[in-house]
Amino acid sequence: MADVAREAGVALRTVSRFVNGDATVGEDFADRIRRAIETLDWQPDERARQLRSGRTRTIGAAVRNISDAHPVLRAVDESARAAGLTVVAMSTEDDEEREREAVVSMCRRRMDGIIIEPIAENHGYLQPEIDSGMPVVAFDRPATGVEVDTVLSDNRGGIALAFEHLVRQGHRRIGYIGDDERIYTGHERAVAFHECLRAHCSAATGMVHPGPIDPARIAAALNRLRSDPEPATAILTGNASTTVAVIRQLGGDFGSIALVGFDDFALADLLRPGLTVVAQGEAEIGRTAIDLFQARAADPSRPVQTVTVPTTLIPRGSGELAP
Amino acid sequence: MADVAREAGVALRTVSRFVNGDATVGEDFADRIRRAIETLDWQPDERARQLRSGRTRTIGAAVRNISDAHPVLRAVDESARAAGLTVVAMSTEDDEEREREAVVSMCRRRMDGIIIEPIAENHGYLQPEIDSGMPVVAFDRPATGVEVDTVLSDNRGGIALAFEHLVRQGHRRIGYIGDDERIYTGHERAVAFHECLRAHCSAATGMVHPGPIDPARIAAALNRLRSDPEPATAILTGNASTTVAVIRQLGGDFGSIALVGFDDFALADLLRPGLTVVAQGEAEIGRTAIDLFQARAADPSRPVQTVTVPTTLIPRGSGELAP
DNA sequence: AACTCCCGAGATAACGTTATCTCGTTGCGC
DNA sequence: GCGCAACGAGATAACGTTATCTCGGGAGTT
């Protein structure tokens, strides 16, 4: 920048003003500076800029996986972009240690905020950052042990949507295979399924098989559901991985039993029959996360808020099969 | 850091030495500093650190899309991580303007290097950065107008693999539907298909329909292939989007005509029949990109290198259908 | 005992920006 | 003609680190 100033024959500070769009730079000076920048191929150093100004205009996103499709991340990125913010995403790979590394890295980079898809059992380690004014927004699951703004899917509503859809198709024995109940979403969805069973006790019975996602367990659960004296005529799966595992396990039998999956995924419509799913409002979740971040940044003392985003049932065939 | 130094009763520089793992810090001093850091909840400022040391230990990855599945990005991230580097990925969204924004942002952040999946027609704008010693590695497509290290898939070999596989299944009329020939991979694969036709002229005839990926065009191409007096008995698609578009268009007819897709994608095995594909070596591409980056960083004057990564045929059923 | 050498630690000067303060001009009202 | 505000521009001091140089003192050598 000093070189540019010398080349243009102006003061260092004037180049800075020009770069920052300060209107107090005369047109003749601006021209000379423009030319000098061109000549020297100079670009401002973002690190120094951030260091001096104290703002990074960057928020960190600690998500489960960067490299897989991640519709929420896309929405976060777009909303942030629209607000003039840069998003730096890091993978936690479903690992507590990795999550922490990501968060530490974001803090060391003095990012303006953190959007996190929580993995760790306890997020107390975030407290010092929160206390020092770092806006933190959790999505998909609540962050345990700290109070932060949160965006969740309407897990219970989504399960109810699917359950009632199957009941409407005439199913009276519905099986549920879902994620580990120690995981928040796994717990919520299994509980919701139980509630549906209670609410429809006269109309439907059902079986629940939550646990870790692992082909062998899925296969066992599936076999139990189908080999029952009164076998299930419909299956509700608690997340995309489970859905896929169930479809793999069903093999050629896919289509012989009704199936509704919680969480949509790419190409689910290409299956035969098409896969009926409860879709989460990922775009809205992402947008809301950024909204909450901005609200918090604008007013650090506002009460923490939890937003629940509704789900939608997308019928594609597999959920409309008769018992 | 000054606060930590005061709290620990040592000099600023000693805290710095401790943080950087300098062995010349005595154990008693180290203890006091550790305690002071703990007490004050201090974390070093990465921006200042980078500014002063001149190194960011960060490389930028400008890829087509962050939010969709991106196996190369995963490999890049993992290899970089293993080398103690952080990857910051940005989406180009297949847009020249966005690509340029991403690259500019990376330069302003003074990243140690750039890994790019080139979109722009001309990458001459990278020349000043390259000249100033910024290592740049392109993958998937070459960067036009500049000489940089490059990692490519063996597009021609992959098309040949698929073509010969179909010929071996007895197909004599094979159609090709691919991407726009103005795009490098679209061009390479279409040319390779033509070469295969020439090489097998006695054994096979075929039709080529490259162009932009758009459902209407795919439908038209497909109809032409199938309504020919001597219709195609097998189709080879030039990339994943085309493959998916073709499968959508085929609808219930999927499985009535042999299909091999270039580029694998998640859940292709769930289709009935399973989708036979030519898989690219994404993990190796990613690893190689990081290798080339490191080699260039270590020796800026080394000659630029282009590495071609082989492809593999994965038979899953759709490509093994008889004519 | 004098000399060198090395080692652990501190003082000071950058790194490339922006914030703050200062200063000389100019324009305008009275 | 004077004062005063407004304005455009420059000088200088940070921001939070690390690089370089300096220095005191203890161990080893002759």
Distance (Å) of CA A69 to CA A75, A88, A217, B124: 12, 16, 25, 32
Residue B16: count of CB within 10 angstroms of its CB: 17
Q: Which pLDDT score, from 0 to 100, does residue A205 have? A: 77
Question: Mean pLDDT, to the nearest integer, of A294-302?
Answer: 94
Q: Which pLDDT score, from 0 to 100, does residue B97 have? A: 94
Q: Which pLDDT score, from 0 to 100, does residue A207 have? A: 78
- Say which residues have a Cβ less than 8 Å from residue B273's Cβ, sequence separation at least 6: B255, B316, B317, B318, B321
A2 touches strand C (CB under 7 A): yes
Q: What whole-number distance in Å separates Cα of residue A272 and Cα of residue B253?
A: 11
Q: Is B235 helix (H, G, I), strand (E, B) or coil?
A: strand
List of domains in chain A:
2-44 (1.10.260.40), 56-152+282-309 (3.40.50.2300), 155-281 (3.40.50.2300)
Nucleotides of D under 7 A from a protein CB: 7-12, 14-20
Q: What whole-number distance in Å separates Cα of residue A31 and Cα of residue A51?
A: 28
DSSP classification of residue A143: P
Instruction: Nearest chain A residue to B72 by CA: give it.
Output: A67
pLDDT by residue (tens digit) across B117-132? 999 999 999 999 999 8
pLDDT by residue (tens digit) across B4-13? 988 888 888 8
Distance A41 CA to C15 C1' (A): 19
Q: Which two tokens stand for residue B42?
A: 């201090």
**Phi, psi (5° rounding) for residue B140?**
75, -50
Q: Per-residue confidence at A316, pLDDT binned at 50, 70, 90? A: very high
Q: Per-residue confidence at A285, pLDDT binned at 50, 70, 90? A: very high
Q: Round the average pLDDT of chain B to a whole number and report it.
A: 93
Q: Which pLDDT score, from 0 to 100, does residue B102 have? A: 95
A48 touches strand D (CB under 7 A): yes
| CB contacts, 8 Å: A109 with chain B | 46-47
Contact: B266, A271; criterion CB under 8 Å: no
DSSP classification of residue B21: T
Q: At what angle do helices B282-298 and B71-82 cross, to 10 degrees?
A: 40
- Say which residues have a Cβ less than 8 Å from residue B91's Cβ, sequence separation at least 6: A77, B63, B64, B65, B66, B67, B98, B102
